[in-house]
Amino acid sequence: MSNECVVDVKNLTVGYGDIVVLQNISFSVSSGEIFVILGGSGCGKSTLLKHMIGLYTPFRGDVLIFGESMVNSSEDEKRKLMRRFGVTYQGGALFGSLTVAENIALPLEEYTTKTPAEINEVVQQKLAVVNLDGFGNYMPSELSGGMRKRAGLARAMALDPTLLFFDEPSAGLDPITSAELDRLILRLREELGTTIVIVSHELDSIFTVADRAILLDKDTKGIAATGKPKELRDSSPNLWVREFLSRSKLKRDM
């Protein structure tokens, strides 16, 4: 990791309609870091991610990615900025009428001037990275859940972004498949230097891959804790944080 700030969330307040989900949230993600956003159901994890990647406009605050605003940029500037990062959604979010290879090729066809042969070469490279060699001609419905997630990752990597966002990458996966995905995430950081932001509540994965995490609190609509997950679990001064990360009720001090 370096001290370069890749993502900078500043005093962000988000929600829907008149409902505030998170209020005055601030944190930053450094280059090469695996950063996890975690919390209980309904705390606003996915809502925060959607605002960070520009799908929604926050009530207040800003999100800087590579030093550029996702909130105050023009639509054209925002689209250019969005090309610089990749996003993997729950379930892979692949187009069911296209093959795996065609799904991965889409961003290359839309945003580059590569020839069909060059696009195919990139597609094969990305399939190899996610251990899906030979599956390019399969339809998404023919893949397992874990394979669809990896195919979605290959598509997110098509334009060689240095920043990746994951929304619940391990959700719905069996323990072995989840562990394989964890190893892939670590390999992306180690071999490519990719900065990775993950929304998750899967503690085993979080303890395996995360350099640092924030824990969102549904009641306060803010950040309950920031730090290394294992250190927060073992020594956070906030009892609720320790209970959440250890998945057990702890003895209260008298």
**Polymer length of the chain:** 254
Q: Flag the least confident range among 8-12, 139-143, 166-170, 219-223.
A: 166-170
Average pLDDT value for residue range 87-101: 86
Residue 197 — φ and ψ, nearest 5°? Answer: -115, 125
Lowest average pLDDT, out of 87-96, 112-121, 145-154, goes to 87-96
Q: Is the pLDDT of residue 71 over 70?
A: yes
Q: Give the pairing type, strands 85-88 and 163-167.
A: parallel
Taking residue 179's Cβ as centre, other Cβ atoms within 10 Å add up to: 15
Note the pLDDT tens digit of each residue in 202-249.
Answer: 899 999 999 999 999 999 999 999 999 999 999 999 999 999 999 876
The overall average pLDDT reported for the chain is 91
Q: What is the pLDDT of residue 177?
A: 82
Q: Edge-to-edge strand order for the sheet containing 85-88? A: 85-88, 163-167, 195-199, 34-39, 212-217, 222-227
Please report, for the chain, the start and end positions of each structural domain, with discontinuous segments joined by +: 1-84+162-254, 91-161
Q: Are 201 and 45 within 8 A, CB to CB?
A: yes
Positive/negative CA dihedral, 182, 184, 187, 188: negative
Return d(Cα 91, Cα 79) in angstroms, integer. Answer: 24
**Does the pLDDT of residue 252 top 60, yes or no?**
no
Angle, alpha carbons 14-17-19 (nearest 5°): 60
Which pair of tokens denotes residue 32? 């090469």
CA 67, chain centre distance (Å): 19
* Residue 79: band (very low, low, confident or very high) from pLDDT cuts 50, 70, 90: confident
pLDDT category, 93, cuts 50, 70, 90? confident
Residues 8-19 pLDDT 10s:
999 999 999 899
HSE-CB at 81 with a 13 A cutoff on CA atoms is: 22
**pLDDT above 80: residue 66:** yes
- CB neighbourhood size of 100 (10 A): 27
Assess whether pLDDT exceeds 70 at residue 2. Answer: no
For domain 1-84+162-254, the CATH superfamily is: P-loop containing nucleotide triphosphate hydrolases (3.40.50.300)
* The predicted structure's pLDDT at residue 254: 39
Q: What pLDDT score does 180 carry?
A: 86
Q: What is the pLDDT of residue 138?
A: 96
Please list the residues that pair with 14 across neighbouring strands.
22
Note the pTM of the prediction, 2 decimals: 0.90
Determine what percent of the chain is predicted with pLDDT higher than 70.
96
